[in-house]
Amino acid sequence: MDFSLTPELEEFQHHLHSWVDKKLPKEAARKWEAQEHEYPHELWDLMTEQGLHAVGLPEEYGGSGSDVFSQVLIGRELSRTLGGLVWIWGLSSFCARSIAESGSAEVKSKLLPKLAGGEIKIAIAVTEPSGGTDLLGSMRTTASKVDGGWKIRGQKIWSTAAHASDYLLLLAKTDPNSEKPSRGTTLFLVPNPSAGLEIRQIPKLGMRSVGSCEVFLDDVFVPDEMIIGGVNEGWGCILTSLNNERIIVSSLCLGVLDGVLEDAIDYMKTRTAFGRPIGEFQALQHYVADMAMWQRQSELAIYHAAWLQQSGKNVGTAATMAKVIASEYATKAADLGIQILGGMGYAQETDMQRYWRDVRLYRIGPITNEMARNVIAESYGLGRSF
């Protein structure tokens, strides 16, 4: 089994690596992140100029094709310098894929070219305050049929970049009497702004300028044509994109690990103590060796999952494994990176603390690693534990 990149993908990665160093350096990432609660529109525009929003979308709608490995390489190279700021690209990629796979011909022709061209932004609004991972069991947001559309009432939380987005990809309960909760939900595209829609940002540890939001809906009207998929089929539409999302998230973690290792090695070559470079100290060399092994293990797990999805094979378990492996190794690596830099690793003028703050979230979302382990164990024939 060969997961090596094709010559075309190698060239694409090399070009992207150079472009990131030139246009999205770590100093710029620190500047964008320092603008707390201010969405980095300049970063979005740079991604648009490079055509990154078109990757993963069908060519007939202005995309550049749905190659999974290209998405992985973009996530990896961007997060190497951007850390959690990369999620403004990842979020758009995930939502656009859901529309491309489940949207009506009218919605696709209306929105996908604009998404590919970076003209509009879409945020996902699925999680609820009372549930977290128990999404379906705790869902309280409802949509009621009215003339020409639906009225939505409820609350969502941890909706990334909702405040800066033109639409919310929102899941609501439309059949409270369905036998299974998963069969009674519908996926809507909610225009922002809308009457009755209120969005508030949540102060948080990392990914500060991207923005994570609470969303309040008080009889927000959504027309019938803005349903993604069919009525009461929303959960199935979301599931078609979840595996792709986990692969993308794992690539973002791998990119952080790349950045951590890059900075650690540079620092160890230039910092001196006791009359020699600290890179000659065995304990620190062991840290680098560990990070290098975590990097390779994560890469293999991610490329395997991407290969499965690209081949049309069952990718659920592999995508979940890749997400757990990469997020835990990247968090451990960022923590060791702080240790290697010592006091400077704790200073905001370096990037180790930023990497740690940002990547720590990926052990929690989009699925907690504890729940991910349940899913993996269940795939080996064990009884459901939740």
Q: Where are the domains of the chain?
A: 7-121, 123-230, 236-379
CB atoms within 10 A of CB 268: 19
Q: Crossing angle for the helix pair 316-341 and 369-379, nearest 10 degrees? A: 140
Taking 50 as the pLDDT cut, the residues of the chain under it are none
**Which structure tokens are listed for 330?**
């990247």
Residue partners of 86: CB distance under 8 A and separation at least 6: 75, 78, 79, 252, 255
Asked: is 236-379 a CATH 1.20.140.10 domain? The reply is: yes
Res 97: pLDDT: 83
Q: What are phi and psi of 156, to 5 degrees?
A: -125, 160
**39 neighbors 92 (Cβ within 8 angstroms):** no
Res 14: pLDDT: 96
pLDDT digits (tens, 9 = 90+) for 123-180: 999 999 987 777 777 889 999 999 999 999 999 999 999 999 999 999 999 998 888 8
Active site annotation includes 245: yes
Separation CA 125–CA 185 (nearest Å): 13
Would you identify the CATH topology of the domain 123-230? Butyryl-CoA Dehydrogenase, subunit A; domain 2 (2.40.110)
Res 130: pLDDT: 83
**Which structure tokens are listed for 357?**
């703050």
- Superfamily of domain 7-121 in CATH is Acyl-CoA dehydrogenase/oxidase, N-terminal domain (1.10.540.10)
Res 179: pLDDT: 80
Separation CA 342–CA 344 (nearest Å): 5
Do 123-230 and 7-121 have the same topology in CATH? no
Q: What is the CA radius of gyration of the chain?
A: 21
Res 49: pLDDT: 95
Nearest to 127 by CA among 119, 139, 111, 142: 139
CB atoms within 10 A of CB 374: 18
Q: Check 10, 245, 262, 378 and give the catalytic one.
A: 245
Separation CA 182–CA 330 (nearest Å): 33
DSSP strand E in the chain: where? 122-125, 142-146, 149-160, 167-173, 185-191, 197-201, 212-223, 227-228, 272-273, 276-277
Res 37: pLDDT: 80
